[in-house]
Amino acid sequence: MQKKKLKGPSATVIRADEDAYFALKNIAGYKPSNPEFSVEAATAAYEARQRQREVVALAINALSAARDSLAILDNDLHDVMNGAKNQIRAIYGEDSDELASMGLKKKSEKRYGIRKTKKKEEVITG
């Protein structure tokens, strides 16, 4: 029994196979000694591939729609949480434990006025 490969041929090879299939359908009197390579077998394989391509296309579209929906819901959650944080500030104050529980810094824990200054180098002239 032939082992099935999970990695398909390149797009160029697939396109060449499709062109060869279309040509095979138009060859009059083609009767292979092995029925696995008949026009009927080729037609069944081609049609099965086309059905699966449709399934894949629909799945890709569904995934894209699901991702868009998730992005919208992520933004909705972010907006609600930002509003809730602002309400916590307004209700409990800038230095409350409730504000810290929301992942924000208390006003008393913030460092103000600390700036790093660059040291000026002295120029030595000689």
- Does residue 102 contact residue 85 with C-beta atoms inside 8 Å? yes
Kindly state the tokens that stand for 103: 């992942």
pLDDT value for 27? 95
pLDDT category at 4 given cuts 50, 70, 90 is: confident
3-state secondary structure of 87: helix
Does residue 41 lie within any of the structural domains? yes
Does residue 125 lie within any of the structural domains? no
Residue type present at position 100: A
pLDDT category at 3 given cuts 50, 70, 90 is: confident
Does residue 116 lie within any of the structural domains? no
Does residue 123 lie within any of the structural domains? no
What sign does the CA torsion over 18, 19, 22, 24 have?
A: negative
Does residue 79 lie within any of the structural domains? yes
**Domain extent at residue 33:** 11-101
Residue type present at position 27: I
Say how far apart CA 105 and CA 103 lie, in whole Å: 7
Residue type present at position 72: I
Q: Which positions ≥6 away from 32 have C-beta within 8 Å?
A: 38
Does residue 3 lie within any of the structural domains? no
pLDDT value for 61? 98
pTM of this structure: 0.62
Q: What is the pLDDT of residues 23-53, one digit of tens each?
A: 999 999 999 999 999 999 999 999 999 999 9
- Does residue 9 contact residue 17 with C-beta atoms inside 8 Å? yes
Say how far apart CA 82 and CA 91 lie, in whole Å: 14
Number of domains in the chain: 1
Does residue 2 lie within any of the structural domains? no
Does residue 68 lie within any of the structural domains? yes
